[in-house]
Structure 1
Amino acid sequence: MLIFAYGLVIGIFVSLIGGGGAALYLGVLTSQLGLSSAVAVPTSLLVALPALFFGFLTQLRVKNVNFHVGNQMIVAAIPGILIGTYSAQFIPKTLYNWIVGTIFIVMGAMVLLKSIHQTHNTHTDSTQVWLARFFGLLSGLMVGIGGLSGGATTAAGLTLLGLTAVESAGTATYVLMTMSSISLIGHLFTSTFAWQAGWLLMLGAIVGAVVTPVIIQRLDLRRVNRVLTPFLGLLIIYFGVKMFI
């Protein structure tokens, strides 16, 4: 049941910030279930995908998904995933960590400043499309190269595009579900999965991903956004700092 509880907490957490949670699942699979990294990485993707799918259905029901922006990100993310997957073999891990860490800190700071100054979206439709594609390409590259870093970039990009924290979380679930599906198809042909090891973790994550958006929807969304937006910024900065440690 402890593994189920881990999954429940992760499902709630990623529903709040709009992440995929692959890094969190990876930590549980390696530290609690003793899987090797080579098996845990694709297994974490397998565990994350059902929670993203059911979370997406719930976010869709409470109308938190912006398909226009999400589709623009996905269109740009697909070539990013393919390019990143091919390029990964040529990029040293240390260099990758520095690049990703710097991007996270900059984007997290921008989200934090946006929440402090309470700025609103002033982008034209054409500008928003190109910005969405830029953030989608960036997320796709990071997913392709590292496999675990697309969530924070996607959520931050959506927030900077002018979506509320709640809309960002819902739309990010849609984007990450699609990107994770593409990545999983590639891993099915090249990786080994621990098919039974993560089922309790998966079940807990699904419950957390389904329940959280429904509860948030019953709260005062303006207050939720005032709390979640700076929290998201600080969390992304934290992820960036961790890349240097």
Structure 2
Amino acid sequence: MLTLIYGLVIGIFVSLIGGGGAALYLGVLTSQLGLATAVAVPTSLLVALPALFFGFLTQTRIHNVNFHVGNQMIIAAIPGIIVGTISAQYIPQNVYNWIVGSIFIVMGLMVLRKAIFPKKATSDNPHQAWAARGFGLLSGLMVGIGGLSGGATTAAGLTILGLTAVESAGTATYVLTAMSAISFVGHLFTSTFAWEAGWMLMLGAIIGAILTPLVIRKLDLNKVNRVLTPFLGLLIIYFGVKMFL
């Protein structure tokens, strides 16, 4: 029952920030369920994918997904995942931590700047497609190099591109679902999964991912954005700082 609650909390959190939640799933699987890291990493992907998918369906139903921008990110992310997966074995862990941590801190500061000095969305900007591809490539590289670590980059990139915090979270579920599915297929041939250990965690996460967007939809979205945007920026900076510790 406690595992179900863990999953529910993570599902809510993931829906709020538009991330994949792999680090949170990984923490529960290793510290609470006692799985070895080598097994917990692919299992966290198994747990995250259904919650992301159901969250994506819910976000689509309430029109929080910008498919045009999301498709641009996915297209760019695919080669990033492939290149990242190949190059990961050659990058020392401490170097990887510094690279990812620096990216997180910079992007978090950019999101905070957007929250303090808001600008009108730029969906008709001719440079947006290239910016979206750039963020998608970066997210794909991070997924390929370090597993499901592209959530914060994806959500931050969408926010910086001019999407509201709510729309960024919704579109991120779409992008991350696609990237996670690609990674999952690769792991099926190379990794060991703890299929039974993660199903309660998965169920709780699915419930949280479905309910959270429906609840947020009934709130004042302007107020939600004013809270979620700086929260997302601070959270990304926190993730970046943790990479240096």
Partner amino acid for 2:56?
F
Aligned to 1:189: 189
**1:36-68: CA deviation from partner (whole Å, max 9, x where unpaired):** 010000000000000001000000000000000
Partner amino acid for 2:190?
T
**What SS does the corresponding residue of 2:235 show, helix, strand or coil?**
helix
Q: Residues 22-41 of structure 1 correspond to what in structure 2 (within 5 A)? A: 22-41=22-41
Unaligned runs of 5+ in 2: none
Distance 2:125 2:116 in 1: 25
Distance 2:10 2:197 in 1: 17
Contact 2:16 2:169 in 1 (8 A): yes
Q: Residues 1-245 of structure 1 correspond to what in structure 2 (within 5 A)? A: 1-122=1-122, 124-245=124-245
Q: What is the CA distance between 1:117 and its match in structure 2?
A: 1.3
Q: What is the CA distance between 1:138 and its match in structure 2?
A: 0.1
**1:130-178: CA deviation from partner (whole Å, max 9, x where unpaired):** 0000000000000000013100000000000000000000000000000
Contact 2:43 2:194 in 1 (8 A): yes
Distance 1:55 1:168 in 2: 13
Unaligned runs of 5+ in 1: none
Contact 2:122 2:128 in 1 (8 A): no
Distance 2:125 2:77 in 1: 19
Moved over 6 A (4+): none
Distance 2:87 2:118 in 1: 38
What RMSD, in angstroms, separates the aligned Cα atoms of the two structures? 0.8
Distance 1:129 1:121 in 2: 14
Q: What is the CA distance between 1:122 and its match in structure 2?
A: 4.2
Distance 2:170 2:121 in 1: 18
Distance 2:123 2:166 in 1: 19
Partner amino acid for 2:222?
R
Q: What is the CA distance between 1:236 and its match in structure 2?
A: 0.2
**What SS does the corresponding residue of 2:64 show, helix, strand or coil?**
coil
Distance 2:124 2:209 in 1: 33
Describe the shift of the 1:137–1:19 C-alpha distance in structure 2 as closer, same or farther (beyond 3 A): same
Distance 2:240 2:110 in 1: 13
Count of residue correspondences: 245
The alignment's TM-score, normalised by the length of structure 1, stands at 0.99
Partner amino acid for 1:243?
M
Distance 1:39 1:29 in 2: 9
The alignment's TM-score, normalised by the length of structure 2, stands at 0.99
Q: What is the CA distance between 1:119 and its match in structure 2?
A: 2.2
Q: What is the CA distance between 1:95 and its match in structure 2?
A: 0.3
